[in-house]
Structure 1
Amino acid sequence: MNVIVDGNGLQARAHAQDGRRLDTFLALLAGLPACRVSVSPEAPLTAELLAGQDVLIITTRKWQTSPYTLTELDSIPAFVRQGGGLLLLSNHGDVPGRHPLDMTRSDALLARAFGIEIENAFFSHPEPSRLSEFGEADLLAGHPILRGAAGEAPVRSLVTNNCCSIVSPDGAPLIRLTDRMIDHRNGFSSQGRCFAIALENNLKVARGRVVMVADSGFIGTAGTTFPGVGLIDQGDNSRFAQNAVRWLGRAL
């Protein structure tokens, strides 16, 4: 299985600066059987670059510094339709008056190619300094990403700091936002919106697969704090990330 991490992504760019941000995540992938992992240069993801890859991982594209090019908005969906797997990790939206950047703007353009709506939301715990944990009631336990392979422990929890929200009529809702989280733009509850979904077997993805997640910081190495607290050691974050890549690469 050939896996390429987009070097233009928020978490990948942080890793290029500190050498630590994705250490644990990359090591987990490299530890999968017959998995070869590379990070792309900070250049557009062309069809030529994606040729021969099985899974593409994008860790949030900031529209201010690394928006998708028109070429990428063609080449990435084409990669999926031809049988590739896409793990698209977005991030939080903005909050009027508090000025966090809207991290959803670029990823939303790509997601729409697959019938996914990334909402410019800022969901987190009502107390902003606290993390949010998704428990078994929030998980679609029957999906292979959460169930794992025979004999493996399932994903039972996942931890995030803050995130956007995802809506898709065609996606399998892997993880729903917990009712305890609120959108800090307006105080509203999640109302059934999703943190993670999986798509396959429809016209928009054709022969490929997509996993869409509303946060990218949850794969950050523990102890790192830029661009947010690293949470890969929390809950079953690492198992979820591994299983998502395995499923996308037809290894689960």
Structure 2
Amino acid sequence: MPFPLKRTLAAATLSLAVTAQASEPLKVGISGEPYPPFTFKAASGDWTGFEVDLARALCDAMERECEITPTGWSGIIASLNAERIDMIMNSMSITAKRQRVIDFTRPYYFTPGAYVAADEREMTSPEDLDGLVMGVQGATTNATYARRALRDSGVEIRVYNQAEQVNNDLLSGRLDVILADEIAMVQFLERDEAEGFEIKANAPRHEAYGEGVGIGLRQADDALEASLNAAIAAVIEDGTCASLSEQYLGTDVCVYD
């Protein structure tokens, strides 16, 4: 009976391989450039923040070990598809363009884009951008929105690799206004050096912003997607998401069914 024996051995080998894979730590991809209060380094040198702690809570809910794995933001999707990381949990909005190359879990939080400028600058609508120099971080939904919706507003759009570069150029006067995630801007404006700046307006709902922020996954990882969706539902239902959101962001941004 050699054939059934071979099939049995093959099945056993596959089962062991799947078990070993499931026991390996999940590599949670975050941007190597800090993005407070979502991802940043504590005084100890360890990564922390709303999404870092939420990722750990999700892994606890799945009874999986996690490994926070920083990588460059501009290449983070390529790192996922090259299997250098297993998931992206770094304020990545669910958009149709990204869904062509990766999958997403259900959304776990949503915040709008916000315009930030000096207190004395008069600005209440896109019409007030005419003649101004505005900064955005590249490869973000805010950059996509700026390209699609603000092309005829008369604003000069400058794209940066890192969020902190945008912030610094606003503070130094090299930019008149910036467009970035509202929650990140609330935290930014609490800095001493940001005194004299304020949120002027929010960007309207637009298809560039997608459905909210989800966890990016490889398109073949259906089992992991199902496990993460169940874990997201669990940490939202038991209040963990809201608690971490209040702790780091000062408000509840979690997406409820």
Smaller-chain TM-score range? 0.3 to 0.5
Q: Give the TM-score taking structure 2 as reference length.
A: 0.34
Query: Counting helix residues as a fraction of each chain, which structure ranks higher?
Result: 2
State TM-score, norm by structure 1. 0.34
Higher strand share: 1
**Which gives a bigger RCO, structure 1 or 2 (Cα 8 Å, sep 6+)?**
2
